[in-house]
Amino acid sequence: MSTTRGLLLVLFLILNGCHSPKRASQEQTLPLTRQELTKLLGWAELAVTSARKDSQGGWQIEVTRLPETPGGHATVLLSIGGKVVRVYRGK
């Protein structure tokens, strides 16, 4: 009986999404970053200076406000699915 319960539990987990979330591509993350910075900081123009995957599979996007100004840079952390997790604004 316990073997049957174990198999049912495994089947339940597989059928109910016990899997990795879909990873956002770099092309998908850049528009999200632009939208978030426009909304939060009022930056209409910006340049992406770097984009790299972080240790959790999400993205770390570095941007500079245009025209360049002191403190006009930010780091945006995105989840594995491409949602904005945190914005660190330059000082």
To the question of pTM greater than 0.85 for the whole model, the response is no
Task: Give, for all 91 residues of the chain, the pLDDT tens digit.
Answer: 455 555 555 545 444 444 455 677 777 778 878 888 888 888 889 898 999 998 888 999 999 999 999 999 999 999 988 888 999 999 8
Q: Are 80 and 58 in contact (CB under 8 A)?
A: yes
Give residue 22's identity as a one-letter amino acid code.
K
Residue 37's pLDDT is 84
> What CATH number matches the domain at 21-89, 3.10.450, 1.10.260, 2.60.40, 3.90.640?
3.10.450
Q: Where are the domains of the chain?
A: 21-89
- The upper half-sphere exposure of residue 82, i.e. CA atoms within 13 Å in the direction of its Cβ, equals 14
Strand partners, 79: none
Which of 72, 81, 67 lies closest to 37, judged by CA?
72
